[in-house]
Structure 1
Amino acid sequence: MRRFLDVLYSAAGGVAALSILAICLLVSAQVGLNILARIGGPALSFTIPSYADFAGFALAAASFLAMAYTLRAGAHIRVNLLVSRLPERGQWIAEILSLALGAGIIGYATWFSVLLLAESWHYGDTSPGMIPVPLWIPQLSMVVGLGLLTVALVDTLIQSIRNRAPVVIDFGSE
């Protein structure tokens, strides 16, 4: 199970990285078309339809799909001012409490994201751009990303309880 989850988190991180690459390519292509229009005039004026919408959808995918991978890599921004001064047992308790609270909050957000996706599907909501995209498609990356983050938080919580020591808090790398 450990290997499966690690592969799943890495795959989501890989898709997030590809989403960022897609944003770079899309925006660069549109900038190139804008330069062409400036040089060539109105006859060479082209635009990528709904490119801003697609860049936004890719940004949402990158943001949500990267969260579980980032958590498991220990790369989330943490404020360790208080926790670093606690004894190791206090650090462990703080980690358990924050992981449990985080899993509850993110689980709640995941549930309501699923409801939002179902509502978009039911009503056939589409994006308002030149190319109408069914909104459930970009919302799916949010649901998957939040679901994976919930799993990663519970996974890390279980690992911390089994180890009887913090697994996320690492003050040596900061």
Structure 2
Amino acid sequence: PFNAAAKLSVLENLSREVLREVSPRMLVVDEVHHLLAGSYREQRASLNLLKFLANDLQMTIVLVGTQDAEFALQTDAQMSSRFARFETPRWQESEAFRGLMAAFERILPLRRPSNLSRREVVSAVLGASGGLTGEVSRLLNSATELAIRDGREMIDVSHIEHVRSCML
């Protein structure tokens, strides 16, 4: 339990206590590019907190974000040198992408199989999403909703195309 109105320092201490007790091997910090939205002092404080956590808790920290995340880290020489840049390429038609599509299909709440790993569906999804994982997820979620609403209970290329036209 915590008090949402507590000072930031109290929440930081509580977070460190929880992390020590749980002792995860890795901490993933997403949306790091949003550091740039803060003032210079807020950016410094956030980057210093990340350094402190890495040292204090002796854990691996993975920072995830857009290309702007790299700019956020470049404001601190120590942070730039601590993290190796790794760019995740956009998806292309491959066995790995078909595997991702099959994994999505297993968790979608549809009554009928969509066979999302079919070549024409894969091609439509890649074309509509630009190969970005987040866009693939948004596209499939919207197509699922459409398939449920129209009563077909399965995603086909027409659903993907309809969602794509609404996204433009």
Q: Which has the higher strand share?
A: 2
**TM-score, reference length from structure 2:** 0.21
**TM-score, reference length from structure 1:** 0.20
Select the structure with the greater relative contact order (CA < 8 A; seq sep ≥ 6): 1
